[in-house]
Structure 1
Amino acid sequence: METRNVSDLEGFTDEFAEYPFHNFLDWFIKINDPVEKFKAQPTYIISEWVFITSAVVCLIHSFVVGGRWKYLWLGCFLQGLALEMLALWAPDIDFYWHSQSTIMLVGRRLPLHITLLYPLFMYIAAYTVAHLKLPMWAEPLAAGLGQVLIDLPYDIICVKFLHWTWHDTDPITFDRHYWVPWTSYFFHLSYGVTFHFALNFWRRCITGTDDKGEVSCIKKEVLCALLGGLCGIPVGILHFLVFYYPLHNIYGIHNENCFLIVVGLYMILVWSADRNPTLGARLHSGEHGHWSRLLIILNLVVHYGVYLSFAIFGSPENEVSIGMHEIAGPCDEYITVPTAFGEGLRKRKYLCLEDYDEPYFDFHCQPGGMLPSEGVQWYTICGTPFTNQAEYISIMATICIFAAIIFYNLLFKSSRTLVHKVKQKML
């Protein structure tokens, strides 16, 4: 493998068992030089700023179309922030490590743009699906499915390009699809579905209606967004307990099957609900779309186009991730992961450098292929080339075509563009 010269990258030779933070502010937020980060991981920095820009475009869109959409954006952001914090501080689900982006939060573990992933994916899925005017029990299912469709290219490409790494032996992430855990897709489906159920529940309880165009006072709307974002988490965990843990942990069914069973079930339910569309669920002759849908289309084109272009033109072997990773250490030390049903699942305590099974990274860019020292959590890893680039291009192109058909029908063949006149309660 031809190795590019990366010795001049900032921090290339650094190794830390505990990263030396200077003070609380240094721990809480770190702003890195984007030029230096681009030298190490160009696709990652492109992805980062696409996320930030697209999330802002979604926020602008929410104000343009009116109604409660800006509060849905807020609720998505709050749920995403809470989920990421939970993952960092709950040892049993601390099984992935982000690469270092331009803006890093809380101990160099959380890139700012990851908190904006949720209002981007969830907002677009919810807004486009809302044009079907499905029954209130079916719309959250469709929104969850839409979120998975938006997530697919992101998950598949980003892990290959070292935007993050997964724990090598964690049983929750063990079953993979293009080195993406099936539970990652299940995660987006579960929390996408349960967030919308929770948000609609609190809107009905606090404001008396879940109508997307009828806005209550700011305090009530923010409270609904907060409760929807926070309460969607325990309901999402319950979703896992019902649909995932019995099948996988008790009966040993592969995660792929668990995920596809639930996706198939939700697709049938959504399709059934859409068989008898309500009044206004289909565009009538003479009705025209609002210009605001161009903002959603722009975000979708950029999102899918960026990850397809990475598959076509990217070189994952030239990506270098310098930062937090799974701690390297002895291969014979194991820990037990407790589960909801009482049985313990084993995983290695450390990354075993002798036989790890994460082929999307290695250490070829290090001088002489030098491995990290034992006990370090901050070190350098190197991307690996495509084993079959044509396969990545074909799967990405297929996802893009499928998504184009789905979102075209949602935005152009369903109800008129959802733009709400001001209907605000003062109390």
Structure 2
Amino acid sequence: MDFLLDAYFYPYLPIELDAETKKDINQKAVRLIQVADWFCKYQSPLNMWKNHPSFLAGEILFFVLCALTFCHAWRHGGRYLYVWIGICIHALNVENLCYWIPDMDNFWQAQGILTFFGARAPLYILLGIYHMFDYTAYVMIQRLRLPWWAEGPAVGLCAVMLDFPYDIMGIKEVWWTWHDTDPNIYDRFYWVPWNSFYFHASFACSFVWILNLSRKYIVDDIYDWKKFPREFLCAFLAGTGAFWLGTIQFALFYHPAHDFFKVHSEITSILFLSFYVVIVWSVDRQSGNPGPARSGNRWWFDELACAVALEYLFFMTLVVIGQPSQIVAEGLHQAVGPCNYTQKVQTPTGLVLQKKMFLCADNYDEGYFDFKCLPGGKLKMPDDGSPLDWYAICGTDYENRAEYIVIVWGACCLFGYIFYNLASWSGETPVIPAKVYGPPRKKPETRGVNPLFPNQPEKIIEPKSTPKGKSPGRKSATAPPTSASPKQLRSRSNKKTD
């Protein structure tokens, strides 16, 4: 930095700076570069295509899916656009809190084209995953015309159905890594923590609950664009409050059962999702007058239907042609260090659990990556013995690819059919009534009033029309004779008799 400033900055200043001033400027410039580097890191797509092609393809896919959700929100406008904005706030809030709260810091994303917040959040997470899962689920459930309190669990279930193939294939393709010994994510399903499904369901549900409740008391039923501060406030409250309400849902069921009674996370997650299913199913069955919720169009297709189809087709293809054993994912991962260091994990119930502070390179249980592709097949640690958190890992091959194909294809086909019924055999996307502002209407023209008789309209005498082809000021040569008097008529009659 000193060389760059001395060569390209200081010589072009109109004044000469002393050494102390230059030193101070150099330090501030370095600090600015560090902040910019923390905020956003760039990686060449060519490098990603060489070492991690499936992740590059996944990023591009979710950019496209995010664009489709935005097109849908823009086309429908009004409150749908505010939902899309609220999900942006929700994504930023959840991701950053998960990185900054030590008890929840238990996963590390692969490095994307642009990665934010200290190399923790790829752009496709902030503008992709949350919009695809939560916005799509929200709009689909709107077509069912459920009560506002039942929409939350329904949206949570739809978010899990969209997340399911992504979770299974994403971890196998090393799109992220999990903490090795964190008790909250220790119980796995194809290396996916069971609590991941619990997380997506509860947080999406919480977002919808807060959004609906705030709109009930802050805004009117009719959308008014001039009251956009209120509309934005509702979206902001949902985006920032969903994390905390979702955490409460964890504290009410998962943590007491898991932390105190050692119930496996598989049991708590399945029961929690089943409870959501019962709520949605019972409310849908008890609807005495479903109305438009049953008026479907089997040929219906829009941006969100396209997004669901693209996501499922992508993962169905990836599980067949993907080569995870050839992946080299270099980036930020769980720090590797001494194997005997532990740290506390504070749970919402007040119980304190334990997890290892560092990944033990010689003794870990994460079967989706290893170090075989590195020189010597072993991770090289710093000479000073300090922990290492930026390193390369290698993907592993399928133990049974056919099993992955069955579960991914089965889930995509089953969930795709459910979404087809939600979209094509339910009502249309609700149109939110909106107040329309336009130019002032012109007053209707009033007829003239006779001043002598105010109650009677003024008579308008129109001139008689002139026959076509005749001049009004000149008599025609073939004009009929004028009428005769009675005496002349009698005289003419006598002449005819003679």
TM-score (norm 2): 0.77
Distance 1:58 1:239 in 2: 28
Structure 1 segment 11-410 matched on structure 2, within 5 A: 22-116=33-127, 117-209=129-221, 217-277=227-287, 278-284=289-295, 293-373=301-381, 375-410=387-422
Kindly state the Cα deviation for residue 22 of structure 1 after the two structures are TM-superposed: 4.3
Are 1:162 and 1:383, in contact at CA under 8 Å, matched by a contact in 2?
A: yes
Verify the 8 A CA contact 1:214 1:423 in the aligned structure 2: yes
CA distance in 2, matches of 1:69, 1:216: 16
| 1:15-73 Cα distance to aligned partner (Å, 9 max, x none) | xxxxx994211221122211111211111011111111211110111121234111111
Structure 1 residues without counterparts, runs of 5 or longer: 1-19
What residue number does 1:13 align with?
A: none
- Distance in 2, matches of 1:423 and 1:320, equals 55
**Count of residue pairs the alignment pairs up:** 402
Identity %: 37
Is the Cα contact below 8 Å between 2:251 and 2:349 reproduced in 1? no
Question: Which deviates the most, 163-172 or 217-226?
Answer: 217-226
Q: Which stretch has the larger CA shift, 115-124 or 355-364?
A: 115-124
- The 2-side partners of 1:180 and 1:424 are apart by 49
Residue 355 of structure 1: how far off its partner (Å)? 1.2
CA RMSD of aligned residues (A): 2.0
Gaps of 5+ in 2: 1-30, 439-498
Offset from partner CA, 1:133-170 (integer Å, 9 cap, x none) = 11122111100000000000001100011100000000
CA distance in 2 between partners of 1:341 and 1:223 (Å): 31
In 2, the alpha carbon distance for the partners of 1:335 and 1:79 equals 29
Give the match for residue 5 of structure 1: none
Please say which structure displays the higher CA radius of gyration.
Answer: 2
Distance in 2, matches of 1:387 and 1:395, equals 14
Q: Distance in 2 between matches of 1:43 and 1:385?
A: 14
Give me the TM-score of the superposition, normalised by structure 1: 0.90
Structure 1 Cα separation of the partners of residues 428 and 349 of structure 2: 47
After TM superposition, the runs of 4+ consecutive aligned structure 1 residues lying more than 3 A away are 213-216, 276-279, 281-284, 287-291, 417-426
Give the Cα separation in 2 of the matches to 1:208 and 1:247.
Answer: 41
TM-superposed CA distance for 1:256, in Å, is 0.6
Q: What is the Cα deviation at residue 423 of structure 1?
A: 3.9
- Larger mean CA deviation between 350-359 and 32-41 belongs to 32-41
- In structure 2, relative to structure 1, the CA distance for the partners of 1:184 and 1:312 (3 Å cut) is same
Quick one: distance in 2 between partners of 1:141 and 1:372? 47
Check conservation: 2:297, 2:425, Cα contact below 8 A: no
Separation in structure 2 between the aligned mates of residue 420 and residue 65 of structure 1, nearest angstrom: 9
Q: Which residue of 2 aligns with 1:6?
A: none
Letter aligned with residue 334 of structure 1: T
Taking CA–CA contacts closer than 8 Å with sequence separation of 6 or more, which of the two structures ends up with the larger relative contact order?
A: 1
Q: Distance in 1 between matches of 2:380 and 2:192?
A: 24
Give, in whole Å, the separation in 1 of the partners of 2:380 and 2:282: 54
Q: Does the 8 Å contact 1:66/1:419 carry over to 2?
A: no
